[in-house]
Homo-oligomer: A and B are copies of this chain.
């Protein structure tokens, strides 16, 4: 059996969740933060890490006066996430033959 190999940057629970959310659609900073239940600082740091890897794009937009931050996956981010998911799928296949 071939053992899956993961992208550590994406695999970390917090960032995997962030990518999962962003894979569906662009989302606001606050929405993501509340979805994964972390502090501002933690999300900010995860986003920075993903941004530096070229996986996430940050867009600052004025929304009713106040500035809001929108997050989205870049093409490279989608590619990396999909590749990671493919590895997870291999693992899922192995597990799906299990009797519980």
Contacts and interface: CB of A to CB of B under 8 A. Distances in A.
Interface of A: 1, 3-4, 6, 8, 11, 13, 16-17, 20-21, 23-24, 35-36, 75, 78-79, 81-82, 85, 88-89, 91-92, 94-100
Q: How would you classify the secondary structure of chain A's contact residues: helix, strand, loop or mixed?
A: helix
B24 A1 contact: yes
Given A3-B36, A8-B13, A13-B8, A24 B94 contact: yes
Contacts of A20: 1, 3-4, 91, 94-95
Contacts of A98: 23, 78, 81-82
Given A3-B21, A36-B3, A82 B94 contact: no
